[in-house]
């Protein structure tokens, strides 16, 4: 709850207070979707590409909203005595961001920003679990609330008493992580790695490094920068007034003795998760926590969860996103953990620019080299995987719907099935089809 007066919220957001009515304390939460507004909410009407949320201000107030934050023209259209607080701002999104910064300062929490080409969500999940295991009160990014809209909503969801904010930061182009850093004012920054992601938008690995390093640039003097030990592209951004911690081989944090990572009671043993854990541990230590013992991680949906199905089939549901680095890591993990046949259902990796075909073809070779037994490619780019693999057991389909029909017919008892692609491919349909064909074994995941 933002237990502050309407005037405080208006001042913090840089908004004009039109209607000061307020029943009791401040808003219980801040929302941007009028369909989910309930009593006590502050509804922020943001203008999108298709819909202007400000048009729904009256609907939000009728639903019992504590108040609305909208453009002046929408505030003017509301009749006097609406029964809620009415805040007017020329740019409601900017007002939302200013309000989040003001609330971040009220919390006096340690703020940790996490970005990187791959692994930022898993690193955020592991870090939050380490902190909670030590008894810290943590608010962390949920789902995909890692943008210029989602990040301020995450900050504003943090209750009084929050000790650590763990904020994932995504980007689609230059300047976007800098914007998120200005809102969050991080004390600690993690860059998990630099790789060929968003090449279509940014053009080069160097440009990607510069965009990710905006988080480091956003640290105030005395902040802690946590970076891979083997990433020279970040070195120019490591200022003398920062405390720099490097993780990975040859770095400051190379192992975690006495720490066991679990998810749903099962060990997390993949090499990429172990590396993410090193970055998370470095951040936990910077926040005053020494990770120890068993750490049960609640992995975000579709980020590598393993589900045991009937017939001893294991589905690795990792279809939220994909790029050449994360695909290779997932294939390596499949090779290291599958006791039976290794089945890879791999879809298009998007936003790779003109070299997209080459990246997919090279990944096909890697799939062959790690011993994939059955490869199903999904989408026009993924077809290069099959062409470049040299594998005999390759089937290519056009989309996730076709894959959802095909894959259950190929899977045999004891198989381990990796399902991975960029989010736009929608490969969760394949995981759902496998569950329908082979329900979870004894309800276990």
Would you give the distance in Å from CA 338 to the centre of its chain?
27
212 annotated among ligand-binding-site residues: no
Enumerate the β-bridge partners of residue 315. 307, 417
Can you give the pLDDT at residue 203?
83
Confirm whether 6-90 and 108-296 share one CATH topology. no
CATH node for 305-437:
3.90.190.20
Is residue 100 left, alpha or beta, with left meaning phi > 0 and alpha meaning psi from -120 to 50? alpha
124 annotated among ligand-binding-site residues: no
119 annotated among ligand-binding-site residues: yes
DSSP state, 348?
A: P
Q: How far apart are CA 2 and CA 356, in angstroms?
A: 46
Can you give the pLDDT at residue 24?
64
SS3 category, 434 = helix
pLDDT per residue rounded down to tens, the chain (445 residues): 788 999 999 999 999 998 787 656 789 999 999 999 999 999 999 998 889 999 999 999 999 999 999 999 999 999 887 789 999 999 999 999 999 999 999 998 999 999 999 999 999 999 999 999 999 999 999 988 999 999 999 999 999 999 999 999 999 889 999 999 999 999 999 999 998 877 777 889 999 999 999 999 999 999 999 999 999 999 999 999 999 999 999 999 999 999 999 988 888 888 889 999 999 999 999 999 999 999 999 988 888 888 999 999 999 999 988 999 999 999 999 999 999 999 999 999 998 989 999 999 999 999 999 999 999 999 999 999 988 788 888 999 999 999 999 999 999 999 999 999 998 999 999 999 999 999 997 655 4
416 annotated among ligand-binding-site residues: no
**Which tokens in the block code for residue 302?**
């579709």
Q: Which of 96, 49, 50 is nearest to 71 (CA)?
A: 96
Can you give the pLDDT at residue 445?
47
204 annotated among ligand-binding-site residues: no
Q: How far apart are CA 266 and CA 392, in angstroms?
A: 33
Annotated domain spans of the chain: 6-90, 108-296, 305-437
**Which tokens in the block code for residue 427?**
């490969």
Can you give the pLDDT at residue 269?
83
SS3 category, 187 = coil
The beta-strand segments (E) located in 1-84 are 16-19, 29-31, 41-44, 67-70
Q: Which CATH superfamily is domain 6-90 in?
A: MurE/MurF, N-terminal domain (3.40.1390.10)
Q: Which CATH superfamily is domain 108-296 in?
A: Mur-like, catalytic domain (3.40.1190.10)
């Amino acid at each position: 709850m933002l237990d502050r007066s309407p005037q405080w919220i208006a001042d913090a957001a840089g908004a004009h207070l039109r209607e000061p009515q307020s029943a009791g304390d401040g808003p219980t939460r801040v929302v941007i979707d009028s369909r989910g507004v309930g009593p006590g909410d502050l509804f922020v009407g943001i203008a999108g590409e298709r819909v202007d949320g400000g048009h729904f201000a009256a609907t939000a107030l009728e639903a019992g909203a504590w108040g609305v934050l909208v453009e002046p023209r929408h505030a003017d259209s509301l009749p006097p005595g609406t029964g809620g607080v009415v805040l007017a701002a020329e740019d409601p999104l900017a007002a939302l961001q200013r309000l989040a910064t003001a609330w971040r300062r009220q919390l006096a929490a340690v703020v940790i920003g996490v970005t990187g080409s791959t692994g930022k969500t898993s690193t955020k999940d592991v870090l939050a679990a380490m902190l909670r295991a030590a008894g810290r009160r943590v608010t962390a990014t949920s789902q995909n609330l890692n943008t210029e809209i989602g990040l301020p909503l995450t900050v504003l969801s943090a209750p009084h008493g929050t000790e650590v904010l763990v904020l994932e930061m995504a980007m689609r182009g230059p300047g976007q992580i800098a914007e998120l850093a200005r809102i969050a004012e991080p004390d600690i920054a993690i860059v998990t790695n630099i790789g060929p992601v968003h090449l279509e938008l940014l053009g080069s690995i160097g440009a990607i490094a510069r965009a990710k390093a905006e988080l480091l640039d956003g640290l105030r003097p005395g902040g802690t920068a946590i970076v891979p030990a083997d990433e020279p592209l970040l070195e120019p951004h490591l200022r003398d007034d920062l405390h720099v911690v490097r993780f990975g081989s040859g770095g400051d944090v190379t192992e975690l003795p006495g720490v066991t990572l679990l998810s749903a009671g099962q060990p997390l043993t993949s090499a990429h998760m172990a590396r993410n854990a090193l970055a998370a541990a470095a951040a936990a230590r910077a926040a005053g926590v020494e990770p120890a013992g068993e750490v049960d991680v609640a992995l975000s949906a579709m980020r590598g969860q393993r589900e045991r199905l009937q017939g001893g089939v294991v589905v690795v549901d990792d279809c939220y996103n994909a790029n050449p680095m994360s695909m290779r890591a997932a294939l390596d993990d499949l090779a290291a953990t599958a006791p039976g046949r290794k089945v890879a259902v791999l879809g298009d990796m998007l936003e790779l620019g003109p070299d997209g075909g080459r990246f997919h073809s090279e990944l096909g070779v890697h799939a062959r080299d790690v011993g994939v037994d059955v490869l199903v490619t999904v989408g026009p780019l993924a077809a290069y995987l099959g062409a470049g693999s040299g594998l005999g057991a390759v089937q290519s389909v056009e989309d996730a719907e076709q894959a959802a029909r095909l894959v259950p017919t190929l899977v045999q008892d004891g198989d381990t099935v990796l399902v991975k692609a960029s989010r736009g491919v929608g490969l969760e349909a394949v995981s759902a089809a496998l569950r329908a064909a082979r329900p979870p074994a004894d309800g276990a995941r």
